[in-house]
Amino acid sequence: RLAMLEFAYYSVISPEGCAAILWRDGSQAPDAAEALKLTSKDLLKLGLIDTIIPEPLGGAHSNVHDTVFNVEKYIVKTLRDLKRTKLDNLLENRYRKLRSIGSTDADKLRRKTQAAAERIKAAMEAIHKPPRKPAPKPVPTKSKPVTTKV
């Protein structure tokens, strides 16, 4: 599980650095911050974190005691929950989560659209195939017994 403090941000580059690289203008840092999706709310929505740990009014630095209490409460609850889950399930959940990172709704939509297109194509091919002619019915014949002379 991955948790993040409410007012923390997570990114591989600062908004100022990103703005300087993309627009050669550090003053566009607010636009870069929005594009980077680096807040805890953004990361929760993207599925990169599991939980947002609330911070005291004024932020974590304003009341370290309450911040530590909130983090401890999250850890204790999470460990209690995890202890009830079988190891195989924990591992499978972790692998599934890691494999899904970077997957988007667009990826899911693309897969569904492709599957639907294949079904439509198969249906169209079935419609446009010339109908099969029924096999001719066998014509009854009178057969004569076969005799051999010896």
DSSP class of 138 = P
User: Given a cut of 90, is residue 100 above it in pLDDT?
Assistant: no
pLDDT value for 44: 92
User: Mind listing the pLDDT tens digit for each residue in 122-149?
Assistant: 777 777 766 667 777 777 666 666 666 6
Q: How many CA atoms lie within 13 A of 83 on its CB side?
A: 6
For 43-47, what is the mean pLDDT? 89
Closest CA to 1 of 97, 83, 73: 97
Helix (H, G, I), strand (E, B) or coil at 53: strand
Closest CA to 39 of 10, 1, 2: 10
End-to-end CA gap in the chain: 95
Q: Give the β-pairing of 51-53 and 3-5.
A: parallel
Average pLDDT, the chain: 86
Which helix (H) or strand (E) covers residue 72, if one does? helix 64-83
Instruction: Find out whether 52 and 7 touch, Cβ atoms under 8 Å.
Output: no
For 39-44, what is the mean pLDDT? 94
Check residues 111 and 78 and name the one with the higher pLDDT: 78
pLDDT value for 148: 64
User: Given a cut of 70, is residue 121 above it in pLDDT?
Assistant: yes
CA angle 91, 94, 96 (to 5 degrees): 110
Kindly state the percentage of the chain with pLDDT values over 70: 90
Instruction: Find out whether 102 and 46 touch, Cβ atoms under 8 Å.
Output: no
User: Given a cut of 90, is residue 113 above it in pLDDT?
Assistant: no
Q: Which of 11-15, 31-35, 136-140 has the lowest mean pLDDT?
A: 136-140
For 40-69, what is the mean pLDDT? 94
Cβ neighbours of residue 40 closer than 8 Å, sequence gap 6 or more: 4, 5, 6, 7, 8, 9, 10, 49, 52
User: Given a cut of 70, is residue 68 above it in pLDDT?
Assistant: yes
pLDDT value for 110: 79
